[in-house]
Chains A and B, each alone.
Chain A
């Protein structure tokens, strides 16, 4: 156990270093883009005087490194700063967006993970049957379509023709939990269709891989039922790769869903990031990127910890 804690500590410190590097890369990347916030906001209406006034007020006329260190100084003290475009506190801007993103990712995960695992286990159990092939074809088809296409198909059938779910996720500030689940259902279903195949195929492959091992042979010779063999003997040993792929997909649900957010008008972090990049609102871009980077770092750490905990050989290394 002490070893795990030590590993977690080390990884967190390395994570901080990663975050620093990420912030530097993002800053340089946005700096390299043509134009700045003043030009992006004024657009065609920009004149040299108004652009200069804008830059002066927002301190965009300072050299890049000075602005970076000023931002870093605030960040170290836990101050995200303010959005350059509308002077709102970034922590306030980010808070509700992050909550929305996590809610959508959570709902999609709650639907897709059990579904994928069940389908995968059953596919391993009945491999090479009609069921196995059908599940494979259907999930691979849904992952092969672009997300927005899946989204439009769901909108067409479930929102416009059947009228079961709303076509846009209008999440006001004061709606109840179940109302919120209802309004988030279509984006969650879209994401489910997009991620199930990966997890399902990995579960199936990991289990089938083990079915040739001697101890499974032994279990079979003892006369155990196939379902008992798979759930009790094969699955625990297949957990490590499954956990990894599940966590990878959850990370994707948090950081990679901007297209789905746009189609369903879901107010998540992805939209915030895209808006801010297009307007060169650097502090907001930085804050979003750091949240995304942190998501990856923490989820990967979680995956490693879970793999170790579920595998006695890794838990007690000699």
Chain B
């Protein structure tokens, strides 16, 4: 038994602090070190009670309770506070079951069987059945679906119940990462009423029960006394406030009006962190900033030109100027270091105007003029980033005109329409998910219209491969292909920056698949 195991026993209440000290000193630890470890473990034990008040950006009066319409942290907090999904990305970024206890696939990864936990009840007393799960997924499927998660459930060919606690999902094709898709924040499990998922009454199986929802202002939740997960759902009450202005959010946190805030200001977060009683939460997520080129149009159909542009970007300067250092350098592929099978062994592409000139020459140009479309709708600072890139590329003989586009309608009229634009991606927790969303041939959001035969073949291969080391090879090669041939400059992964008061605390790990513990802080955190 090592110290970690002992700490686990203490935090689960299976061992007293005194016993811990005795055991730990037997393992050769000094008394004071052992004392600190015991306190850490105790601090990591969830405690019931209190009222969590969160000040969140990105809520609006136009918010709807319909999970198909969620786009950001505010409605994600409401959704995960009151509902569960089928699978869950845990605090350690590993996939675990939420209402699903276990799952298995046929060897071709085409048919998936999910076993549901027994005895889960909705907050209105109804027992969870496979029909609820099926109706909840069907809410996002079908011809007339207007769900933002339609792409997640598109692989499903057929859903059926098998007995009282098993859902069988048949897919159109193999998909080894399919369970990850079901952890998405849109795919909440709702009760079935007359064959349809009932979101209107907003009853879930989650840790809290919705009491009051005033869109764009405030949401009030109270604890679900019958919640079935141990150590989760710790607050008595939860109040989620929309505070759109970042200065107002920070002053509300500093003056103790709220305990948790989302999206701290990168420019002033170091000052906020110095305030006594305030802790900054910073995680490198999957969110990344890109500049996609439409590879079917000249001159971007020439890979040497694309390489010239990739070499002519000073990622470090963009990182320190636009993100103020709150991020990780990206290497022209969209897989963040924390995603399984991330190819961290690809050498980081450096700013090198000589190489850029070389590739430009090879592409048949001495110098070239290009338009780069940008608007702050792409991400805050996108226009500044475009102007910086213009300056960085000038020495390589690449003359960029930054076209400032309107924020309104940017995603419909500029992105994927103009040959070269600025863009951001929320990122995905698996390689396959990210690639099938934005890099596979014919994918809805393949924003470079890129098609690489080898890449597409590997994608199919990876989906039906269940052997981890072989998958590592496949996904490593795919990342290399995007790095060398893809139509996208990926210059940085942004950190999620949020802050909490010391009155609120969490376990040792915090998930990084979305801001604030994957959006599940309401369920996971507790009062210190």
A binding-site residues for B, Cβ under 8 Å: 33-35, 38-39, 41-47, 49-51, 53-54, 56-57, 83, 85-88, 93, 96, 152, 155-156, 159-160, 163, 166-168, 170, 172-173, 262-265, 267, 271-272, 275-276, 278-279, 281, 284
Contacts and interface: CB of A to CB of B under 8 A. Distances in A.
Given A54-B146, A83-B62, A85-B64, A46 B248 contact: no
Given A86-B215, A167-B255, 13 more contacts: A34-B409, A35-B408, A53-B143, A53-B146, A85-B64, A152-B251, A166-B257, A172-B220, A262-B248, A265-B248, A267-B214, A275-B216, A279-B60
8 contacts: A35-B412, A45-B148, A50-B146, A160-B254, A167-B248, A173-B212, A263-B248, A271-B216
Contacts of B242: 265
Contact of B216 (A38, A173, A267): A267
B144 A46 contact: no
Nearest to B68: A50
Given A173-B212, A279-B62, A163 B147 contact: no
Contacts of A39: 409, 411-412
Given A35-B408, A46-B412, A85 B251 contact: no
A262 B245 contact: yes
B24 to A, nearest CB: 43
A163 B248 contact: no
Q: Which of B151, B242, B243 has the most CB of A within 10 A?
A: B243
Contact of B71 (A43, A50, A262): A43
Interface in B366-410: 406, 408-409
Interface residues of B, number: 49
Nearest to B244: A262
A197 B247 CA distance: 27
A275 B216 CA distance: 8
A95 to B, nearest CB: 12
B282 interface: no
B216 A152 contact: no
Main DSSP-derived SS at the A contact region = helix
A98 to B, nearest CB: 13
B153 to A, nearest CB: 12
A53 B241 CA distance: 31
Contacts of A49: 143, 145, 150
A56 B144 contact: yes
Contacts of B65: 86
Query: Which of A46, A86, A279 counts the most chain B CB atoms within 10 A?
Result: A86
A265 B60 CA distance: 12
Given A34-B413, A275-B60, A159 B255 contact: yes
A234 B447 CA distance: 72
A44 B414 CA distance: 11
A156 B255 CA distance: 10
A88 B200 CA distance: 11
A168 B245 CA distance: 11
Contacts of B64: 85-87
